Structure 1
């Protein structure tokens, strides 16, 4: 009897310890040249073979672009693969994602060309804002400290002689 209870309790603890992974993929048509069922699904299928992971694959054409509350509230790790359709995800679409990251509820893993993805860029912009406020807090000695955020002009690489940002 004790062994049965121990096994049941252990099984519940193991199930509770599963890491919920969501693989997000824009699923652009050219992927089919290399991945019959899209790259995100190939990544998810591989991860599903690993113990301790509960894996789900979503795509940009899903409801809420695949990053709605039903996805984010049931996700510990978000793996993001994007390449061509980055501009179709808006900063507003990413606000809940950034909130989850800041709250420590979500780990974000951008892959490949995701350095131009809106979630990655918004996460880096938010980190810059947080670092600036931490470095230059408004207090009695510096009551006039304020920050003006100037959004980037687009998804263009900086010129070789560009100001390195953030520039404090």
Structure 2
């Protein structure tokens, strides 16, 4: 199973492993063609499953609605190219991946710094916090978390070649 990690936001971070190492990047969630291009490339590289960070429930309803919209765009684009999608709660992957001395790191800035450190330790070269989070999410999904996540729907149908005449 090859997993793409996705950190949905206006600038959506993504990361997955290839034969040559990690492929990291960020793409506008509001450009459907760009999302489809990135996820099609991932599927062509052997990615079969996506681990997507779920929306966090904060006090700001407008922010939640915006993130839910972005999450829907991202999940739809992944499913359109045949990648199965599972959602992971931010707290779950962060407590597993962002630890110092066995204790989960607290605080937004400390978590961002730790995420960058963990991603680099895994061999990735993320340019942004969104990309480093995506590396951590992908690793979490590939090693520990896919069984505990929520599928977003039925397994996508893979395109099949037409029968030979």
Task: Give the number of the structure with larger relative contact order, counting CA–CA contacts within 8 Å between residues 6 or more apart.
Answer: 2
**TM-score normalised per structure 2:** 0.31
Indicate the structure with greater strand content.
2
User: Rg larger in 1 or in 2?
Assistant: 1
Q: TM-score, normalised by structure 1?
A: 0.31
